[in-house]
Amino acid sequence: MTIKTVVWNENVHEQHNKVVSDIYPEGIHGTIAASLNAVPGISASTATLQEPEHGLPQDRLDQTDVLLWWGHAAHGDVEDAVVERVAEAVWSGMGLIVLHSGHFAKVFKRLMGTPCNLTWREAGERERLWVTARNHPIVAGLPDHFELENEEMYGEPFGIPEPEQTIMISWFQGGEVFRSGATWTRGAGRVFYFRPGHETYPTYHNENVQTVLANAVQWAHNPAARVQNVTDAPNVPVEAALEPFEARGPKLHADGEEGFK
């Protein structure tokens, strides 16, 4: 079974900033997709902000097992309808991996219900990621820690809901720490946030980072058929109750009526 994966990127810096386009001539999305396609069982394609419906029409999301999301400068340009469509796909079973500055992506904030803010410093400092959940599938094959010699700093407090699991914590040269790998469940969908990936450094060429992303795709993949009508709130008439009983008392709704939303 192949895991159909889409790597989404706003693809903005790659167009305007020579530093970024030199590091990622195929775009951040291209580099990540290529690294995923090298993994047996994963089939990755890309989508970008500039495409119609940002490359994420409903029928493509319906066919997507896991979506990766990289955005930074253009969060505000992502249409709300697409955000809601992605959120519904997650609730119904699609996996979502949010990368680096995607902490401020509309879709991440939508799914977390919190500001998702943090402190930051762009100074090329050393980051060391420590594994806090040994043998979690997302860190399979990794050592207990690994380093990125140049990264942007993100510091606590990180405005997220308490993670279901904190997988990695970063140490920064300048003195900060950060929960860099964290998981949540939203409906039938699994969500993973992974911190590194500033666009002016070659982070997505790093082998350990690529291992994390491939592991995360496999972890986030829910092979079950998508949940249908994932926001419905069906009425169960008293005649259909699993344990028979006689209805009592006053009613607001006529039989079979739909509820308020």
Residues 117-136 that bind a copy of itself (CB under 8 A): 117-125, 128, 130-136
Q: Is 252 in the site for a copy of itself (CB under 8 A)?
A: yes
Q: Which of 41, 51, 156, 205 binds a copy of itself (CB under 8 A)?
A: 156
Question: In terms of Cα–Cα distance, which of 186, 145, 192, 204 is closest to 20?
Answer: 204
By beta-carbon proximity to a copy of itself, the closer residue of 52 and 250 is 250
Residue in 153, 209, 217, 220 binding a copy of itself, rule: CB under 8 A: 153
Task: Choose, by CB under 8 A, the member of 184, 193, 194, 219 that binds a copy of itself.
Answer: 184
Per CB under 8 A, which of residues 55..114 are in contact with a copy of itself? 72-76, 87, 91, 93, 101, 104, 110-114
Give the footprint of a copy of itself on residues 189-228 (CB under 8 A).
198-201, 222-224, 227
Which DSSP string do the residues of 162-184 spell out, in sequence order?
Answer: PPSEEEEEEEETTS-EEEEEEEE
Distance set, CA 178 to CA 18, 90, 181, 233 (Å):
29, 25, 9, 38
Nearer to a copy of itself among residue 25 and residue 159 (C-beta): 159
Using the minimum distance from each CB to a copy of itself, give the nearer residue, 34 or 133: 133
Tell which one of 4, 45, 50, 145 touches a copy of itself (CB under 8 A). 145
- Within 8 A by CB and 6+ apart from 146, the residues are 128, 129, 208
**Per-residue x/- track, 228-247, a copy of itself (CB under 8 A):** --xxxxxxxxx--xxx-x-x
Q: Which is nearer to a copy of itself, 45 or 222 (CB)?
A: 222
Total Cβ atoms within 10 A of residue 141: 9
User: Should residue 43 be labelled a site residue for a copy of itself when binding is judged by CB under 8 A?
Assistant: no
Cα of first residue to Cα of last residue in the chain, in angstroms, is: 38
Contact between 251 and a copy of itself (CB under 8 A)? Answer: yes
What is the four-CA torsion angle of 205, 99, 124, 127, rounded to 10 degrees?
Answer: -90
For a copy of itself, give the closer residue by CB, 207 or 242. 242
User: Cis peptide before 157, with omega less than 30 degrees from 0?
Assistant: yes
CA distance 100 to 88: 22
> Tokens 């989508």 correspond to what residue?
47
Q: Among residues 2, 79, 159, 205, which is the contact residue for a copy of itself, using CB under 8 A? A: 159
Alpha carbon distance 104, 95 (integer Å): 18
Orientation of helix 27-37 relative to helix 207-220, angle to 10°: 70
Does 162 participate in binding a copy of itself (rule CB under 8 A)?
Answer: yes
In the complex with a copy of itself, the residue whose CB is nearer, 26 or 122, is: 122
Which residue number, 51 or 122, has a Cβ lying nearer to a copy of itself? 122
